[in-house]
């Protein structure tokens, strides 16, 4: 049994990662800034800390006794959140910086950092349905302002801690992870969950229209949470400290994403396009050739299949009268 610290364990990806690691028999330390009653998944048998990991002393405390660390913690959300909270997003650099320092002090064997596709040069994402972004396309640097700069800088921190201090690090660039047991309202939700919510409410309230940020022609790839967890473990366990893309290459426009959710919901709605809302880059897709060649990983869950599972979960949450701040205690 291995003792593993998961930072951001109360969040969407962190909660699913904790559940997976527990299923493999590991002993888990969980840390998150949120009060425990707001964690998306909470397992009482773990060591659970509600602490601010921007503080170095807290990083030392939670990593004491751990062998491995997964850092999933950051202040983030969908495009509406990260475009309007650039300074708050950049403060997450303190989490990674102080956790790396704590890992050296506590002699952690391996450190995983969850980066983002927002690190990619925005000039390469100016058109719809672009070719997949290769890992090398992050340079020359022109990432998403705020959140993207923090992630890119933190990647470099991992690299230099490996070079200078011999800390074994791994980095994955996540591309739009979605699925059940995450945020679907409140301002931090991403497109798949937000659109499921909008279409569910429209259908329940006999409305014939939903609001769409932008013109709906911006493109993305979306990775289901189960694929994300499997890919994360692949990257963590491999012998290379290289950065890897972790995403789907099934690129769709937001309008096409809506089409799929409407088909699942068996409804057809008008679309009111809000052109003044945050919409991010015009096109983004993951090139998975490196992770497939070196780690033999590719996503196994289609967008339609993943959206069916996500829609059902959001529908059940809304029907129960709860909301996305509800947590599940195990």
Q: Which pLDDT score, from 0 to 100, does residue 196 have? A: 98
User: Is residue 314 within 8 Å of 200, Cβ to Cβ?
Assistant: yes
Asked whether residue 305 is domain-assigned, the answer is no
Kindly state the tokens that stand for 38.
């707001």
* 330 pLDDT more than 60: no
Indicate whether 170 belongs to any domain.
yes
Query: Which whole-number Å values give the CA distances from 67 to 2, 33, 97, 99, 245, in the listed order?
Result: 7, 22, 18, 13, 25
pLDDT of residue 48 exceeding 90, the answer is: yes
Q: State residue 172 phi and psi, 5-degree precision.
A: -120, 135
CA distance 175 to 290: 15
pLDDT for the residue numbered 325: 47
CA distances, 37 to each of 43, 303, 325 (Å): 11, 31, 9
The parent domain of residue 85 ranges over 3-177+223-248+287-300
The answer as to whether 294 is a domain residue is yes
Q: How far apart are CA 3 and CA 76, in angstroms?
A: 27
Residue 110 pairs with which residues in a beta bridge? 68
- Prediction pTM value: 0.94
Tell me whether residue 18 is in a domain: yes
Report how far apart the first and last C-alpha atoms of the chain are (Å, whole number): 20
Does the pLDDT value for residue 322 go beyond 70?
no
* Residue percentage of the chain with pLDDT more than 90: 92
**Separation CA 120–CA 247 (nearest Å):** 14
- Indicate whether 257 belongs to any domain: no
Residue 209, domain member (yes or no): no
Position 77 confidence tier, pLDDT thresholds 50, 70, 90: confident
According to the 3-state scheme, what is the secondary structure of 244-267?
EEECCCCCEEHHHHHHHHHHHHCC
Which tens digits make up the pLDDT trace of 79-134? 888 889 999 999 999 999 999 999 999 999 999 999 999 999 999 999 999 999 99
Say what the pLDDT of residue 192 is: 96
Please state, in angstroms and rounded to a whole number, the distance separating the CA atoms of residues 190 and 196. Answer: 10
Q: What is the pLDDT, as a whole number, of residue 329?
A: 47
The tally of domains found in the chain comes to 1
Q: Confirm whether 256 is domain-assigned.
A: no
pLDDT higher than threshold 70 for residue 46:
yes
The band of 324, judged by pLDDT with boundaries at 50, 70 and 90, is very low
What pLDDT, in 10s, does the model give residues 183-207?
A: 999 888 999 999 999 999 999 999 9
Task: Encode pLDDT of 12-34 as tens digits.
Answer: 999 999 999 999 999 999 999 99
Average pLDDT over residues 131-157: 97
**Within a domain: 197:** no
CATH number at residue 121: 3.40.50.720
pLDDT of residue 79: 82
The residues that are catalytic are 147
């Amino acid at each position: 049994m291995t003792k593993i610290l998961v930072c951001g364990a109360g969040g969407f990806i962190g909660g699913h990662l904790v559940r997976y690691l527990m299923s493999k028999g590991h002993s888990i330390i969980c840390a998150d800034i949120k009060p425990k009653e707001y964690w998306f998944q909470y397992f009482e048998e773990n060591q659970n800390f509600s602490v601010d990991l921007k503080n170095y002393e807290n990083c030392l405390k939670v990593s004491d006794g751990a062998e491995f660390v997964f850092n999933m913690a950051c202040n983030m959300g969908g495009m509406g959140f990260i475009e309007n909270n650039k300074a708050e997003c950049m403060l997450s650099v303190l989490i990674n910086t102080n956790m790396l320092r704590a890992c050296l002090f506590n002699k952690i064997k391996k450190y995983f950092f969850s980066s983002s596709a927002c690190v990619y040069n925005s000039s390469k994402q100016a058109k719809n349905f672009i070719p997949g972004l290769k890992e090398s396309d992050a340079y020359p640097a022109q990432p998403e302002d705020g959140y993207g700069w923090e992630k890119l800088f933190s990647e470099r921190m991992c690299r230099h801690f490996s070079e200078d201090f011999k800390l074994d690090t791994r980095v994955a660039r996540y591309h739009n992870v979605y699925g059940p047991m995450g945020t679907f309202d409140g301002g931090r939700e991403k497109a798949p969950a937000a659109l499921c919510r909008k279409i569910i409410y429209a259908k329940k309230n006999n409305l014939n229209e939903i609001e769409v940020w932008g013109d709906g022609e911006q493109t993305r790839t979306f990775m289901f949470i189960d694929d994300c967890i499997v890919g994360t473990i692949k990257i963590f366990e491999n012998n290379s400290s290289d950065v890897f893309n972790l995403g789907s290459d099934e690129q769709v426009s937001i309008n096409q994403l809506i089409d799929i959710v409407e088909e699942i919901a068996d409804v057809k709605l008008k679309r009111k396009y809000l052109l003044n809302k945050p919409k991010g880059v015009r096109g983004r897709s993951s090139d998975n050739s490196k992770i497939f060649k070196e780690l033999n990983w590719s996503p196994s869950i289609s967008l339609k299949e993943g959206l069916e599972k996500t829609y059902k979960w959001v529908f059940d949450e809304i029907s129960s009268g709860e909301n996305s701040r509800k947590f599940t205690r195990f």
